[in-house]
Amino acid sequence: DAGVTQSPTHLIKTRGQQVTLRCSPKSGHDTVSWYQQALGQGPQFIFQYYEEEERQRGNFPDRFSGHQFPNYSSELNVNALLLGDSALYLCASSLFGGGLYEQYFGPGTRLTVT
């Protein structure tokens, strides 16, 4: 049973560019959350998707947007990249209504903005 998978593993972009990160949830899960983990910091909640809609959003600008597909996979898009967007982006999946402890994290995508 595959867990949460994310692609790509690493990514290097230039300031001002746009990036798309992808996440496939664990089998049986229908909810996807995205987190940003800057160096030396804990993960920060970006947003959560369920039934193809953004259900909740953290304190991130509109440059950060997402999408969830009918197969529950999800994309995170970041426009007009800033140097400060360099971070590890984590995807977490869960079953809506399940326990918080049942949220599984992927290995992350390391984004470097130069």
Partner 1 sequence: DQQVKQNSPSLSVQEGRISILNCDYTNSMFDYFLWYKKYPAEGPTFLISISSIKDKNEDGRFTVFLNKSAKHLSLHIVPSQPGDSAVYFCAANDSGANSGYALNFGKGTSLLVTP
Q: Which residues contact partner 1 (rule: CB under 8 A)? A: 4, 31, 33, 35, 40-45, 48, 50, 55-56, 58, 90, 92, 94, 100-108
Strands ordered across the beta sheet of 19-24: 5-7, 19-24, 74-78, 64-68
Tell me the pairing of strands 109-113 and 87-94: antiparallel
Residue 12: CA atoms inside 13 Å, Cβ hemisphere, count?
1
- Please report how close the Cβ of residue 65 comes to partner 1 at its closest, in angstroms: 17
Q: Are the beta carbons of 111 and 21 closer than 8 angstroms?
A: yes
Rounded CA-CA distance 109/6 in Å is 7
What's the min distance (Å) between Cβ of 15 and partner 1?
Answer: 26
Q: Identity (one letter) of the amino acid at 39?
A: L
User: Closest distance between partner 1 and the C-beta of residue 2, in Å?
Assistant: 13
Taking the complex as a whole, the smallest distance from the CB of residue 23 to partner 1 amounts, in Å, to 11
Q: Which is nearer to partner 1, 14 or 84 (CB)?
A: 84
* Shorter beta-carbon distance to partner 1: residue 8 or 16: 8
Contact call for residues 21 and 41 (beta carbons, < 8 A): no
Minimum CB distance to partner 1 smaller for 66 or for 106: 106
Nearer of residues 27 and 41 to partner 1, judged by Cβ = 41
